[in-house]
A and B are shown apart, each in its own frame.
Chain A
Amino acid sequence: MMKKSNFKFFLLPLFIVVCSIVMTMAFEIEEVPETEMTSNSLSENAAPANEPFDKMMAVLTHKRCVNCHPAGDRPHQGEDSHVHNFGVQRGEDNHGVAALRCESCHQQENNNYSGVPGAPEWSVAPLSMAWEGLTRVEIAQSMMDPAKNGGRNLAEIVKHLTEHELVLWAWEPGVDAEGNPRELPPVPKDEYIKAVKDWAAAGAVIPAE
């Protein structure tokens, strides 16, 4: 049987070693920023078969897209996706109501003096293209449904997603009224465009989740 003094002699170094390991692990976790972890998960850790879909949907579920794909008649705005100020509504043509049009404030490019964002055809997405509250699979299914997507086929969907100026505005969103840059989608634009094209070329498969 181990003597009491020997027992202490054994336990103390063991305690120090265990503490060192735990603290090292803790610091290693703290040193990796959340955004970097997210980026790694999208570009390296995702299963190869779903990587294009993962990247594409990481963008399409971002607030830069979903804010103007509301489920109701009120667009959202800002990093917290609050309901658009001033009671703004989609109106009959998705460009606002009679005397409060999107174009009353939003022009064809960002206005970095006033902080008002802008791009060609600035508008709310039609109600059939509502994405708010949907899962990424439901958004993808909706996007591929001609009855909801404006009658677009796959080639037209890819063209819209990769070439439409209003879509690509997400990577050049300008600054807000306080001069702070708006948050970018979590995937770089060129990677996103490649992901959309790769996903479509591979059959535009929507995974079951």
Chain B
Amino acid sequence: MKISFNINGSAQTVDVDEKTPLLWVVRDLLDLKGTKFGCGKAACGACTLHVDGESVRSCSFPVKYAAGKDITTIEGLSSGDALHAVQQAWKEEIVPQCGYCQPGFMMATAAMLDKIPNPTDEDIDNNIVNICRCGTYYRMRKAIHRAAEIKNTNS
């Protein structure tokens, strides 16, 4: 089945089984490897990307639901060389350890900041529930607050 959508600002059409997880399409067909496979059952959040601005676990998202939508992956979060506030904060706070889960956290954070510009610790606890086996949660919390500062300053 041919399915068309925009991804990171570019129009794409793929010809796949409509139930193929969007994650498979993004990684294996479009060669965008930044979005990670973690658990495969929408539990860990490593595969988080945006569909029409909403954070989605792409391992559990059949590609047919992406038809006509705007998809953003970690590769499309920045504007050219200008890092997104979340990316900038992640650098400043030296958040990643192994780094595998970080794209999912960053995409979830970016989606949250679009709706909650100044998140409290409680907002972070309620909205960012991805899993990091390295336990970088403390640094991520600092980075999320810092990202909010950067984003609000820039805007």
- B-side residues, CB < 8 A to A, are 19, 21, 40-43, 48, 54-57, 59-62, 65, 108-109, 111-112, 115-116, 123, 125-129
Given A89-B126, A97-B126, A97-B127, do A111 and B60 touch, yes or no (CB 8 Å)?
yes
Residue A186 at the chain B interface, CB threshold 8 Å: no
- Least distance between B72 CB and chain A CB atoms (Å): 14
Count of chain A residues with Cβ under 8 Å from any Cβ of B? 21
Chain B residues contacting A101 (CB-CB under 8 Å) are 54-55
Residue A9 at the chain B interface, CB threshold 8 Å: no
Partner of A98 from the list B21, B65, B127 (CB cut-off 8 Å) is: B127
A-B contact pairs, 10 of them (CB 8 A): A87-B126, A98-B111, A99-B128, A107-B62, A108-B65, A113-B21, A113-B40, A114-B21, A116-B60, A177-B41
Given A111-B62, A113-B19, do A85 and B56 touch, yes or no (CB 8 Å)?
no
Given A105-B42, A107-B65, A113-B21, do A100 and B54 touch, yes or no (CB 8 Å)?
no
Q: How far is the CA of A30 from the CA of B109 in the complex (A)?
A: 56
Q: How far is the CA of A177 from the CA of B43 in the complex (A)?
A: 10
By beta carbon, the residue of chain A nearest B108 is A99
Partner of A99 from the list B43, B59, B65, B115 (CB cut-off 8 Å) is: B115
Partner of A107 from the list B48, B61, B125, B127 (CB cut-off 8 Å) is: B61
Q: How far is the CA of A107 from the CA of B21 in the complex (A)?
A: 12
